[in-house]
Amino acid sequence: MVGASGTGAPGDTWVVVPLYQEATAVGDVVRELRRSFPQVVCVDDGSTDGSADQARRAGARVVRHCINLGQGAALQTGFDFALRDASTRFVVTFDADGQHRVEDAHAMVERLRDGEADVVFGSRFLDDRTEVPRVRRVVLRSAVRYTNLTTGVRLTDAHNGLRALSREAVGALRITHHRMAHASEIVSLVGRSGLSWVEHPVEIRYTDYSRAKGQSLLNSVNILVETILG
């Protein structure tokens, strides 16, 4: 166990985990997170499979949307939750399916703590730890190209759920794309608000589980349309 003592002042960090139908994975994810980050909030987006109970049992605070709104809306709810806590200085966004590594999140918060930037985006393309399936790589690359073109923020990975944000950054963002287009939206909001940002190399664990749960590539069409129509 890493323990709370080895992590500086973890009481000032909330980890926001958008949660939808991940009952089999979320318990382990929360338990692993809480070894480094005692404050974890799961925003349950209307799950019907007992995800909320699993998360609560693992020690997370759980905020429940009574209807399904989408991941973007869940993230915004998590941001609002974190902002209600006056001692919050940093917020991490972390997926519920176990594809992210807690060590990466920890390193990203440390970079915020050092004052390097207001926002740290995780990127799976900065080193070669992550084996990205070929088709997915093509789609992700196109998404990045589009995001870079339209937001003026030059990233290597546009759709990574692992981010670390300062309180100021969280307060400046307002996500309105409730479904999946929020990833590009966050990038563009950061670009427009003049917040400083850096990318941090992270590893994505493509397990059979996350592959089965991950969004279908067809969904990228929806993301594109939502992004263009605004």
Partner 1 sequence: MRLIQGLLVLALLVVGAVLVRSTADARHQAVRRILLVLLGLLAVTSVLVPQAVTWVAEALGVGRGTDLVLYGLVVAFLGFIASSYRRTRALEGKVAELTRRLALDEEAREAGAAAHRNVTTDGTAAPEETPTRAERPGA
Give the residues lining the site for partner 1 (CB under 8 A). Answer: 43, 53, 56-57, 61-67, 69, 73, 76-77, 80-81, 84, 176, 178, 229-230
**Which two tokens mark 79?**
């941001």
Alpha-carbon distance 94 to 187, whole Å? 16
Q: How far is the CB of 46 from partner 1 (least distance, A)?
A: 9
Question: What is the SS3 assignment for 24-43?
Answer: HHHHHHHHHHHHHCCCEEEE
Do residues 4 and 38 lie in contact, with contact meaning Cβ atoms separated by under 8 Å?
yes
Helix (H, G, I), strand (E, B) or coil at 63: strand
Do residues 129 and 203 lie in contact, with contact meaning Cβ atoms separated by under 8 Å?
yes
* Region of residue 40 (phi > 0: left; psi between -120 and 50: alpha; otherwise: beta): beta
Q: How far is the CB of 131 from partner 1 (least distance, A)?
A: 36
Alpha-carbon distance 153 to 150, whole Å? 8
Q: How far is the CB of 191 from partner 1 (least distance, A)?
A: 19
In terms of CB distance, is 62 or 112 closer to partner 1? 62
Q: How far is the CB of 47 from partner 1 (least distance, A)?
A: 13
Q: How far is the CB of 69 from partner 1 (least distance, A)?
A: 5
In terms of CB distance, is 56 or 141 closer to partner 1? 56
**Which two tokens mark 14?**
């909330």
Q: How far is the CB of 54 from partner 1 (least distance, A)?
A: 12
Give the E-state strand segments of 59-203 in sequence order. Answer: 61-65, 90-93, 119-123, 163-166, 197-201
Q: For residue 17, what is the DSSP state?
A: E
Alpha-carbon distance 172 to 124, whole Å? 26
In terms of CB distance, is 34 or 65 closer to partner 1? 65
Rg (CA), the chain: 16
In terms of CB distance, is 61 or 129 closer to partner 1? 61
